[in-house]
Amino acid sequence: MIGGIMRAILLSLLLLPVYATSVGAAPPPSSKKPPVSLCRASEQVLFDCQMDERIASVCRTGQAITFRFSSPENRSIQITSNGRDGRTHQFYIRGGGHGGFSRGLRFSQDGVEFIPFFGRAGELTDVPGKRSSGLEIQKKHISLATHRCKETKRDDLDIPDFVPEETDKGYLVWY
């Protein structure tokens, strides 16, 4: 008799999750995470930035770099440059605060500038050593949006030598 009761309890405990799911209980949370990079497996990651539901990546393949940006509306932007086509420039600013700097790339497409950046505050600032990175979007030197990365994992942007120095001094600013 006790053995039969124990079997009934054990069977009901085993069937409870099946029953709960079948009557409308929420399924277990998905362990699938959004991608943290838009770079392909064959590309070298130079920059990754996750901002809420947006991702910005800079990827390298041989003598070309590609900027990719994906928004929640799933509209993607992709700009590829070989450094000689005028679509990308790099900048590096060393500033006050003893050791602070800002470094970035400017990708141009249809009059809009996409500027992935990385910086670190100098020792004499209010936030010594603080790293920040993100994406600035501009049109005619007017900011349309500034997106900050959720976290900054890298210590710098790894910019290839074939990318020319910034020629427009208006972009040499701290972002």
Domain positions in the chain: 44-170
d(CA 69, CA 57): 7
- Hunting for tokens 């990385």 — which residue is that? 118
Cβ atoms 70, 78 nearer than 8 A? no
C-alpha pair distances (Å), 27 with each of 12, 33, 56 = 20, 16, 31
Residue 27's pLDDT is: 45
Residue 90's pLDDT is: 95
Specify the pTM.
0.75
Cβ atoms 77, 67 nearer than 8 A? yes
Quick one: DSSP state of residue 123? T
Residue 60's pLDDT is: 96
d(CA 128, CA 51): 23
Residue 156's pLDDT is: 65
pLDDT in tens, the chain (175 residues): 555 544 444 444 444 444 343 444 444 444 445 557 899 999 999 999 998 888 999 999 999 999 999 976 677 899 999 999 999 999 999 876 677 888 999 999 999 999 999 988 888 888 898 888 999 999 999 999 999 998 766 666 778 999 999 999 888 877 6
Which strands, in side-by-side order, build the sheet including 142-148?
88-94, 101-109, 112-120, 131-139, 142-148
Q: How many CB atoms lie within 10 A of CB 164?
A: 13
Quick one: DSSP state of residue 170? G
Q: Which of 36, 61, 64 has the alpha carbon at shortest distance from 50?
A: 36
Q: What is the largest CA-CA distance in the chain?
A: 89
